[in-house]
Amino acid sequence: MDRNIRWLIPFGIAMLTIRPAWAQTGTPPPAPAKGEKVFIPPPPPANAVAVTVNGQAIPEMAVYRVLIREREEARAQARKEVIEFLIGNVLIDQYLMRMKVNVERQEVEARMAQMRAEAKKEGQDFDKMLKALHLSEDELRYQLAGAMRMEKYVAQQATDKALRDLFESSKAMFDGSRMQARHILLTINPERNAEQARARLLAAKARIEAEVAKELAKLSDRADKLEREKTRMQAMEKAFAEIAAKESDCPSKAEGGSLGWFPRAGAMVEPFARAAFALKPYQLSEPVATEFGQHLILAIDHKPGKDIKFEDVRPVVREVYYDRLRESLISQLRPRARIDIQQAAKQ
């Protein structure tokens, strides 16, 4: 199933390529228990606007249709991520239209027909699915045209050389390398800006290092190098987990900030993954900024990947290239954009 279909129709797959914060940097909230009723709020007015981007409105309905798939307690955080994702979509589409990356109507209609056929193959009623998503065919055509514009742009940029260069420079992303880590997340909010969050994490790092030094000082002079290293690792993990449990804003705080094992690409946002994989076991990072806030990372272990050839993982390399290109465009376009998040969307 191609990326355009995955963006829009949930054939057992997420409707949009939005990964919530817990999927990027923590553990998921518990799934609804069998028979548990999940409150689904009524749809917003058809004319309600969530955000305007350079004067272009993003309807509240676009946010709503994603949030109704989230547990009630997760919707506030998910809302921020959905809005950021949709802002990114609009910024990119506006840019591509200025760049004359065109999609003809017949191309959209052909893709619509393909989607209907895919739905039928999966035993789904296409029209009922659109109704359940509060999505009209005209809006679907608009969203699909934007997704197809991006695919055309990626096709222009993702040359064989570009993909091979990415593969050669970042093999750990594709060879199955994995690592285990803990983290402390401090989100940015009206009471805490990025510099304040960074300062708090630096203070936490100093406390952890002081606790490790205190435990090492308890060892006798006859303690060998192996015993000292074992004590250092245990003290560092214990101190880190205690601070994470008290101060982290990620759901993983319940597990002392533990993220378990994760790959180099596809699970964590790139700045986090890049910083984590640069660490040696039981090394602390400096504060790391991501779209979710500021992080302090403690590496626990690392499993190297296997030898691979570019041809074996080319589709995965292209996916990573796509994501990096999207992030790069947004980072360039967003600072110059006029973005107005409506009051209802700020709550």
- The residue whose two tokens read 């983290």 is 183
In order, the DSSP letters of 35-88 are T-----PPPPPTT-EEEEETTEEEEHHHHHHHHTTS-GGGHHHHHHHHHHHHHH
The Cα–Cα gap between 259 and 257 comes to 6
Provide the greatest CA pair distance for the chain.
Answer: 79
pLDDT in the model for residue 299: 97
214 pLDDT exceeds 70? yes
Closest CA to 84 of 13, 17, 175: 17
The domain locations on the chain are 3-167+315-346, 176-303
83 pLDDT exceeds 80? yes
The Cα–Cα gap between 162 and 193 comes to 37
Q: For 330-344, how does the pLDDT look when each residue is reduced to its tens digit (9 = 90+)?
A: 989 999 999 999 865
Average pLDDT, integer, range 45-72: 90
Give the count of beta carbons closer than 10 Å to the beta carbon of residue 163: 19
Q: For 272-298, how does the pLDDT look when each residue is reduced to its tens digit (9 = 90+)?
A: 999 999 999 999 999 999 888 999 999
Instruction: Assign 34 a pLDDT band (cuts: 50, 70, 90).
Output: low
CATH number (3.10.100.10, 3.30.1360.10, 1.10.1040.10, 1.10.4030.10) of 3-167+315-346 reads: 1.10.4030.10
Give the count of beta carbons closer than 10 Å to the beta carbon of residue 184: 30
The Cα–Cα gap between 157 and 184 comes to 36
pLDDT in the model for residue 229: 96
The Cα–Cα gap between 263 and 260 comes to 10
Question: Of 27-31, 94-98, 156-160, 188-192, which range is least confident?
Answer: 27-31
Question: Of 12-21, 24-33, 219-228, which range is least confident?
Answer: 12-21
Joined tokens for residue 108: 């959209």
The Cα–Cα gap between 28 and 70 comes to 11
147 pLDDT exceeds 80? yes
Which of residues 39 and 110 earns the better pLDDT score? Answer: 110
Q: For 155-211, how does the pLDDT look when each residue is reduced to its tens digit (9 = 90+)?
A: 999 999 999 999 999 899 999 999 999 999 999 887 889 999 999 999 999 999 999
The Cα–Cα gap between 56 and 136 comes to 19
State the CATH architecture for 176-303: Roll (3.10)
For residue 274, give the H/E element and its range.
helix 270-277
Q: What pTM, to 2 d.p., does this model score?
A: 0.72
